[in-house]
Amino acid sequence: MKLFEELLKKESEYFTRRHFLRQGSLGLGVAALASLMGCKNPLSQSSVTRYTGSAHNLVPKAKRIIFLHMAGAPSQLDLFDYKPLLHQLDGKECPQSLLEGKRFAFITGVPEMLGPQFSFNQYGQSGSWVSELLPHFTEVVDDVLFMKSLHTEEFNHAPAQLFMHTGSPRLGRPSFGSWVNYGLGSENENLPGFVVMVSGQSAPSGGKSLWGSGFLPSIHQGVEFRSKGDPVLFVSNPDGVPRNVRRAVTDAINQINETAYQEVGDPEILTRMAQYEMAFKMQMSVPQATDIGDEPDYIHQLYGTEPGKVSFANNCLLARRLAERGVRFIQLYHRGWDSHGSNDFENLHGGFKTRCTEIDQAMTALVKDLKQRGMLEDTLVVWGGEFGRTPMQENRQGKTNPFKGRDHHGNAFTMWMTGAGVKTGISYGETDEIGYDGISGKIHIHDLQATLLHQLGLNHEKLTYQFQGRDFRLTDVHGKVVKEILT
């Protein structure tokens, strides 16, 4: 350990000197160096690995984000955005005015309207509408903010998910979590700053690009914590290499490297030594962070977790543990929400209903648990899909689908959010009588991104990275902070 501390000190001295000489006022200081999961050596990467501009001109309310993405897009009309009129319209032909000039993913010809498929009631002081599919969640409605009028231009899964998580529907842009780590660096030197966990049926359509770093340095990409095998790829020693042997191996590597540094003077060697030391530490901290077996029974009962199982509940509990340890961006994907009504699982009474059961208790527990620990003060929790669903029953080639289901719909959908300076117990934004379009309080995806960055203390217009000759942002050239939903 001593060697490591010496190294850090030496490196700090070195870079502090550099810092004044070359990096300007917000260069790579000692703090950034100590956060080894952030970026390291300005000599090898110039100043590009870590944001050094003037985007942090705001007082941060949030230190971290837990983003629960429901991949496949759940129906807002069957969970939160209750439209009694749809009961009356159920089975009637959709008026032409809704169809003209509109592109759908699958609907062709004239579909029929589809009423809410589940019963709704109002809950809490706020009187929030929630359907019967989320009984647990009704207990925390006063602790969250509903945004009823989100909208997006994208109506296919992969582009819409990419849009939500990278600000662009095309592949190749940096993801939200990598922007945040680029902008803020890591809070924990023993864990990655951006962790991704996946559960549920089939894959999120956008694939690993959803947590890629695009053109940002790869150090900012999301690290997937896997549910089976090593939580982080290759974190475990090979069989037959006990920890004390690995300690000795790491020491020998670093001893020889240090001599080499004395001889050739390349500061990159110091960085590599620090990274080997860090890797050794991560081999302890990652399994510790991911072992939920040490949680008390009441926590398991609260979340509905079973150690060893691959589940959204386990991932919610892991999210809290990682948040406690200072991970900046914790991204959960729960997959399999697509409900077109095209077969006996992709429909509202099939897969959709099952998904609700899988998430209800766990996401409720996450809100309760963070609240009881005082962590909601500086943790943002965001829940939602990549778009919403149509008030129409889906049809294809003029034939109504065999099961109850809705097509993709980007005009209006619901997300909820809580924590870190977000107003709670209210519903922001409204949709029309059938939930087709937003009529007030509309929030575009870029607005949501701008607002979340704002809560982290980052100005979305200034958090930029130059690539192919232009400055790129998470919010492209759009987005405005939705002040109305902030305290």
345 touches another protein (CB under 8 A): no
- Do the beta carbons of residue 80 and residue 146 sit within 8 Å? yes
Task: Give the residue carrying structure tokens 């982080």.
Answer: 232
CA distances from 380 to 41, 65, 377, 434, 442 (A): 31, 5, 8, 30, 20
Token pair, residue 177, equals 């979590």
Q: Segment contacting another protein (CB under 8 A): 25-33, 57-65, 112-120, 220-228?
A: 220-228
Cβ neighbours of 484 (radius 10 Å): 12
| Region 266-325 residues binding another protein, contact defined as CB under 8 A | 266-269, 271-273, 275-276, 278-279, 282
Q: Of the two residues 126 and 227, which places its CB atom closer to another protein in the complex?
A: 227
- Do the beta carbons of residue 217 and residue 49 sit within 8 Å? yes
Residue 97: partners with Cβ closer than 8 Å, 6 or more residues away = none
| Region 143-172 residues binding another protein, contact defined as CB under 8 A | 155-159, 170-172
In the stretch 112-141, what mask flags binding to another protein with x, by CB under 8 A?
------------------------------
Shortest CB 347 distance to another protein, Å:
15
Closest to 387 (Cα-Cα) out of 319, 448, 453: 448
100 touches another protein (CB under 8 A): no
Shortest CB 333 distance to another protein, Å:
9
256 touches another protein (CB under 8 A): yes
Shortest CB 215 distance to another protein, Å:
8
Selected from 57, 97, 228, 397, the binder of another protein by CB under 8 A is 228
2 touches another protein (CB under 8 A): no
| Region 170-199 residues binding another protein, contact defined as CB under 8 A | 170-172, 198
399 touches another protein (CB under 8 A): no
Q: Segment contacting another protein (CB under 8 A): 40-48, 115-123, 130-138, 456-464?
A: 40-48
Distance CA 332, CA 342 (A): 27
- Do the beta carbons of residue 157 and residue 73 sit within 8 Å? yes
Task: Evaluate the CA torsion angle 231, 235, 238, 241 in order and state its sign.
Answer: negative
468 touches another protein (CB under 8 A): yes
Q: To 10 degrees, what angle do helices 243-264 and 267-290 make?
A: 160
Shortest CB 161 distance to another protein, Å:
9
